[in-house]
Amino acid sequence: MSESLTLDRRTHAFRPDLADAALEGRVVADRFVEGAPRRIAIPSTPIRRAPRSDAAIDSEALRGERVKVFEETMEGWAWAQLETDGYVGFIASDALGADDPAPTHRVTALRTFVYPAADLRLPPVAALSLGSEISLGREVETRGMLYRLLADGSGAVIARHVAPMGAAAEPDFVTVAERFLNVPYLWGGRTSLGLDCSALVQLALAAAGIAAPRDSDQQAAGLGQPVEGGLSAELIRGDLIFWPGHVGMLRDAETLLHASGYQMMVVSEPLAEATARIAASTGHQPSIIRRIG
């Protein structure tokens, strides 16, 4: 029997006409293909629900993230799956590059500039957000500042803003999330220019070496362990508070950090105030609290 009605289309690549070869025998499709590995070649790009520039944005892919491409259209769209969290959608083909070389470093600053050469006085050519992955070459010093050259010769980044792939993870994901304070809220966003509530959690956890699903309902179903007693329990820093369609994390037992669609930015506010406001506007109390580690 086909699993088409039960599989989550956000994380399983299948349509009536085309599906991932890994799903053959589980879903019905006209044809099945092996996805071709590619990487995001620009600072970031939307993952859209349909192959149109005005289509809804469900998520965003960052420079260097790997995708599996199942189809490319003559109109310039790729139907692909992001390796980071399995998200499926449409990406502009001109945002894609070759799979090789594999990234050597990850951006650890909230945001860093790419300069055309190792000199911060030059006008930058791009900006990369936290979690972006790049392939770097040798180190260069200019007026006491250390840079790393991009392996393809296209520019340079500040050396202290990157770390080797596989380097020690951040010790506290809440500290990472706190760096996003006042960043604008953006539905589907995953960068320091704008992000949504679940992306804040996902990016902060990733910096701490913890993989997380993309959306808040997926996170509520599988991250960490449930905290018995809900809001009446003894809550601690890092606890994740979930409402239907929303998530935030605790800075301490009484303070919530979240990308708020009400304030339209990442904010820190008393948990009691946030809970009362959300209940008043939506009728919802927290649905579950989960603890990482």
Q: What CATH code would you report for 173-291? A: 3.90.1720.10
The two structure tokens encoding residue 37:
């590995």
- List, as one string, the DSSP characters of 148-165: EEETTSS-EEEGGGEEET
Q: So what's the pLDDT on residue 3?
A: 81
Q: So what's the pLDDT on residue 7?
A: 96
Q: Over the stretch 167-189, which tens digit does the pLDDT of each residue have?
A: 999 999 999 999 999 999 999 99
**Distant-in-sequence contacts of 265-273, Cβ < 8 A, 24+ apart:** 265/182, 265/183, 265/184, 265/185, 266/177, 266/180, 266/181, 266/182, 266/183, 266/185, 266/195, 266/200, 267/181, 267/182, 268/178, 268/181, 271/231, 271/235, 271/241
Closest to 39 measured CA to CA, from 59, 20, 61: 61
Question: What order of strands is seen across the sheet that includes strand 77-82?
Answer: 57-62, 44-48, 88-92, 77-82, 66-72, 36-40, 96-97
Q: What CATH code would you report for 105-164? A: 2.30.30.40
Query: 57 with 47: CB under 8 angstroms?
Result: yes
Q: What are phi and psi of 45, to 5 degrees?
A: -150, 140
Q: Which residues contact 229 (CB under 8 A, 6 or more apart)?
A: none
Listed by start position, the domains of the chain span 19-97, 105-164, 173-291
Compute the distance between CA of residue 187 and CA of residue 197 in angstroms, rounded to an integer.
Answer: 8
Instruction: Judge if pTM exceeds 0.85.
Output: yes
Query: 122 with 114: CB under 8 angstroms?
Result: no
**Mean pLDDT score across all residues of the chain:** 97
Question: pLDDT at residue 18 above 80?
Answer: yes
Do the domains spanning 19-97 and 105-164 agree at the CATH topology level? Answer: yes
CATH class given for the domain over 19-97: mainly beta
Q: Is 287 helix (H, G, I), strand (E, B) or coil?
A: coil
Question: pLDDT at residue 293 above 90?
Answer: no
The two structure tokens encoding residue 179:
């760096």
pLDDT classification of 63: cutoffs 50, 70, 90: very high
Q: Over the stretch 199-258, which tens digit does the pLDDT of each residue have?
A: 999 999 999 999 999 999 999 999 999 999 999 999 999 999 999 999 999 999 999 999
Question: Would you mind telling me the total number of residues written for the chain in this entry?
Answer: 293
Q: What DSSP element (H or E) covers 217?
A: helix 216-222
Distance in Å from the first CA to the final CA of the chain: 38
The two structure tokens encoding residue 119:
């000199």
Residue 43 identity (one-letter amino acid) = P
Rg of the chain on CA atoms, in Å = 20
